[in-house]
A and B are shown apart, each in its own frame.
Chain A
Amino acid sequence: MKYDVVVVGSGPAGSVTARFAAESGAKVLIIERRQEVGVPVLCGEGVSRKIDEWNMLEGKRWIAGSMDGARIYSPDGTMVKLSADMAGNETGYVVYRDIFDQELARQAVKAGAKIMMNTTSTDLLKDNDKIKGVRAKQFDEEFEIEADIVVGADGVESKVGQWGGIETRLEPKDLETCAQYTLTNVECKDAYCDFYLGKEIAPGGYAWVFPKGKDVANVGIGVLASLSESGMAKKLLDKFIANNPRLKNGEPIRFLAGAAPVASPVETVRDNLLLVGDAARHVDPITGGGLTCCLEGGKIAGETIGMAIEIQQFDQETLSVYEKNWKEAFGKKLKRNYLVKEILLDFDDKTFNMLADSLKDYKFEELSTLSLIKALVLKHPTLLMKLRPLVKISSETKE
C-alpha cells in the first residue's frame, strides 16, 4: 500500500488534517485503532463559537446546546460571570463529541481521504532512519503502509512523535488527569458553563458542569497529575457531586476517564513527519481545551502537506511552514497561558477568593482566557511583578 500521506488517529486533528491535505490533491489514508470514530467520548464537549468562522462542520446534529456564557466559582463560592451580552454573543457550544468527530471524518472522506478502522500503528516504517510510512496491525494481521508523509494525530498518549525522535513524554505537572459523568436528573436552568476552583475541590485543576440539555450535564474534574494519588480524580468528583445540591440527585448515563496535556507545545516537524492536536500538545494549558487548536492547526497542517506533495519535497524545512503558521495562529497564546498556569498553581485558595471578589462585577470585553488575564493584571498591579513575563507576551498576542 502506498499513499502520499498516512494519518495516525481519526480524532478532530487527524480528520481535519486529512481533509485539507486531500482537498489539495494528496492521496490520504487515515488509520484508526478504534472500531467507531469518536467513540468512546473522552471530552467535556465545550467549544468556543470561534469554530463557526472556520465553517468545517455542516448541519447542527453535533450541537447539544449553545452557551450564553461561563461562570467561575472561587473556593468560597464567589462567582465571576462572563456572559454573552458582555462578550458580544461570542461564546460557545456544548457538542456531542462522537457526532462532532464523525462529521469531521465524513468531511475528510468527502474530500477524498480513505479511513481504515480497527487498525493500530505499531511503529514507523524506516529505511536507514528515513521515515517511509508506518507499520500497522489490524486484528492479527501485520502489514506496512508506505507514505511520503506520516501525521501523528494519535492524541495525548502519542507514540508517533517518540518513534520519530520528538520527545513528547509529559511531566506529571503537565497533565490533567480527569473523570467525568454525564448526569441526568440535574437542573440546568440556564445555558452557562460552570467552573469550580479550589484545592479541596480539584488540586491544580477544576471541576466543571457543562449543560447538555435541560436536565442533562457533563460533570467532570481535572486534577494535576503531580498532585494526584491513585483514583483521586474519581473520588473528588464523587465528593463534588454529593456536596452540590443541584447535582446530588443526578443519575449517570455515562462515565469516562480522561487525560489532557497542559504542557508547552513540542517541536512538530521532522523529515517526512508532522504532529497535530493533542499529540503536538496543542491544548490551552489553563483550560485543557484542545478542540479549537485541532481545527485551526489541522487546517494549517493539511494545507502545508498539500504544498509539499505538489513540489514533492517532504523534508523538515519544507514542512516547517506548518510550524511557523501554527505558532503565528495560536503559539503565543499557548506559551502565555502556560506561564499563567504556572503562576496560578502558586496561588492558594485565599488568593483565588480575593481575585474573584475583585472581579465579581467586572465587565469582560470577551469570553476568553486573555480577557480574564487582562482584567487580573489591571486590577492587581501588585501581582504584576509575578505576571510581568506574560504581560509582555499578552500585549503582542491577538486571540
Chain B
Amino acid sequence: MGKPKAKVDKKICLACGGCISVCPQDALLMCGGRAYVHEENCISCAICIRTCPVGAISGEAY
C-alpha cells in the first residue's frame, strides 16, 4: 500500500479552486463543478489537504 493520495469529498467541496492553484503536480482539476484528483499524478504531498478552507480533501490509502 502506497502513501495516501488526495481525495475530494464532493459533498463538501465548494469549488473555490484553491487546491488547484497550489498543487505542484497539476493533479487537480475542476470537473462537474467540484475539484477532482488525478490519482496517477498525485504525489501525496498533502498541500491541497492543508489548503482547503472547508476540509473537503483527505488522504486515502490505495
A residues apposed to B, CB below 8 Å: 33, 40, 42, 155-159, 162, 168-172, 175, 177-179, 223, 225, 228-234, 255-259, 261
Contact = CB atoms under 8 A, between A and B. Distances in A.
B61 interface: no
A175 B54 contact: no
Contacts of A228: 50-51, 53
Interface residues of B, number: 23
B60 to A, nearest CB: 13
A155 B51 contact: no
Contacts of B16: 42, 156, 177-178, 256-259
Contacts of B24: 169
A42 B22 CA distance: 18
A257 B50 contact: no
Contact of B51 (A159, A168, A175): A175
A229 B49 CA distance: 7
A169 B54 contact: no
Given A162-B26, A172-B47, A232 B21 contact: no
Nearest to A172: B22
A162 B5 CA distance: 23
Contacts of A157: 17-18, 20-21, 30
B14 interface: yes
B23 to A, nearest CB: 8
A42 B14 CA distance: 10
Contacts of A223: 53
A368 B15 CA distance: 31
